[in-house]
Amino acid sequence: MRPDFLTIEQWVTPHSRILDLGCGDGALLKFLQQKKQVRSLGVEIDANNIAACISNGIDVIEQDLDQGLANFADNSFDTVLLTQTLQAVHRPDFVLQEMLRVGKECIITFPNFGHWQARRYLLTRGKMPVSKFMPHEWYNTPNIHFCTVNDFEVLCEQRDISVLHRNFQAANYRDATASGPSVFSPIVDRWPNLFAAQAVYHVTN
C-alpha cells in the first residue's frame, strides 16, 4: 500500500462523495470504500486501467482531464482526488481550478522534482534524473510539468487556494504494510522542497 493512501484516509470523511481523477486501477477508491464507506467515482483514460477498475468493482468513466470536468456540477462531490497525476496533465492550473469547482475540498499528491537526489543527479550527470519516483527516461516520461513543493505553494497563493493540510514523505519510504523506519521525519517537514520526495496537499477555495 502506498503511504499517501494512509494520509488521504485521514482527510476523507466517512460516507462522503469522492471523485478520483486519473484513478488508475482503482486501488485508492477500493481502499477508501473499505475504510471510510465512501460513495465514489473514478475518472480514467487508459483502457487497461479502466478494465482493472471494473474488475475491482469501482465505478469509472473514460475521460480526458485536459478537457475539463464540464459534465460535473459545482460542488457535486465532497472531495476530489488527484494522485500522482498533476505533473502529467497539460494544464495543471486548469485541472486544479476544475477540481475546486466540482469538489468542496481536494487532495493532490505529486512527486517533488526539487528533491536533493534529483538535483544531485542533474548536477553530477548532466542528465534528467531516473529513480524510483521518476522511473522514466526523458523521452518516454508521462510527466510534462516538473513541479516542486515551492512551485505548488506559489500556485496556491496566486490562485487564492487555501491549504488545509500538508504532508511530506521521504524518498526512502517503504510500503505502508512493511516494517521499517517511518517515511516521515522532522527534516522533511522543515525543508520539504529539498528533502520531500512526495507531497500530499489538502486544499479548498
**pTM, entire model:** 0.87
Is 174 contained in some domain?
yes
**Do residues 106 and 134 make contact, with C-beta atoms less than 8 angstroms apart?**
no
Is 156 contained in some domain?
yes
> Element (H or E) spanning 34, and its range?
helix 27-36
Q: What CATH code is carried by the domain that includes residue 158?
A: 3.40.50.150
Is 134 contained in some domain?
no
Section 46-51 average pLDDT? 97
Mean of per-residue pLDDT scores for the chain: 89
Is 78 contained in some domain?
yes
Section 75-89 average pLDDT? 95
Q: Tens of pLDDT along 23-39?
A: 999 999 999 999 999 99
Is 104 contained in some domain?
yes
pLDDT at 75: 97
Proportion of the chain in helix, strand, coil states, percent, rounded to 5: 35, 20, 40
Is 129 contained in some domain?
no
* Predicted confidence (pLDDT) at residue 116 exceeds the cutoff of 90: no
Is 15 contained in some domain?
yes
Task: Give the domain extent around 103.
Answer: 3-114+145-204
pLDDT at 179: 38
Q: Tens of pLDDT along 189-205?
A: 899 999 999 999 999 99
Task: Give the span between the Cα atoms of 131 and 170, in whole angstroms.
Answer: 13
**Do residues 111 and 135 make contact, with C-beta atoms less than 8 angstroms apart?**
no
- Residue 106 buriedness (CB in 10 A; 0-12 / 13-18 / 19+): buried
Number of domains the chain is built from: 1
Is 99 contained in some domain?
yes
